[in-house]
Amino acid sequence: MTGLDPIARLEAWLADAARTEPNDPGAMSVATVGADGRPSLRMVLLRGIDARGLVFYTNLASRKAAEIAHNSAVALCLHWKSLERQVRVEGHAELVSAAEADAYFASRERDSQIGAWASKQSQVLEGRFKLERRVIKYATAFAIGPVPRPEFWSGYRTVPERIEFWEKRPFRLHDRTCYERDGALWRSFKLYP
């Protein structure tokens, strides 16, 4: 079957999750692969979704950013326990535009903006006091006016090539629908549970 829109389905499932999940319905795992070939997995927050893909933000000096720079192939997983559903996405990550990153950064709470400046994400932290001193440093530096987005902070859009929807069914006969990109269209098929 072709011509279906898995992004619209994902948006509907996210809306359902926003009504039922107690915390962070946009929490998703992001899997990357390091230069050594080892996979790495962590949780991030989905901060945007449209026909182009799924967006999350991070420090560009982080481990995930270094791994994406080496190999842009990524996998995402959103799991909603309360709904007994999950979505798996496979594709490649690309940087969002500076304008998109600026707009999202400006929408964040001021404390989160200061935190982005203060954190040397994924680097060794010698002690909590060192981090707190960096927070004070940047809170003082940006005491007046808006906090600018650091050059080392931006977002990635995962451009999906495959999206799988999983929904729990009785007797472990779960419903699995897979969509694969076929040029500008999507084709879908069912998978055995």
- Assess whether 172 carries a catalytic annotation: yes
pLDDT band of residue 22 (cuts 50, 70, 90) is: confident
pLDDT digits (tens, 9 = 90+) for 52-68: 999 999 999 999 999 99
Please pick, among 19, 38, 128, 172, the residue that the annotation labels catalytic. 172
* C-alpha span between 138 and 128 (Å, rounded): 16
SS3 166: strand
With a threshold of 0.75, does the pTM exceed it?
Answer: yes
pLDDT digits (tens, 9 = 90+) for 123-170: 999 999 999 999 999 999 999 999 999 999 999 999 999 999 999 999
pLDDT digits (tens, 9 = 90+) for 65-96: 999 999 999 999 999 999 999 999 999 999 99
Cβ contacts of 168 within 8 Å, gap of 6 or more: 84, 85, 174
Percent of the chain with pLDDT over 70: 98
Closest Cα partner for 85 from 171, 16, 173, 167? 167
Q: What is the mean pLDDT of residues 101-120?
A: 97
- E strand spans, the chain: 27-33, 39-45, 48-50, 53-59, 73-80, 85-95, 153-167, 175-182, 185-191
Domain residue spans of the chain: 6-108+151-191
Q: Which fold has domain 6-108+151-191?
A: Pnp Oxidase; Chain A (2.30.110)
pLDDT band of residue 180 (cuts 50, 70, 90) is: very high
CA–centroid distance for 87 within its chain: 13
Q: Is 90 exceeded by the pLDDT of residue 9?
A: yes
Q: Is 90 exceeded by the pLDDT of residue 1?
A: no
| Number of alpha helices (DSSP H) and beta strands (DSSP E) in the chain | 5, 9
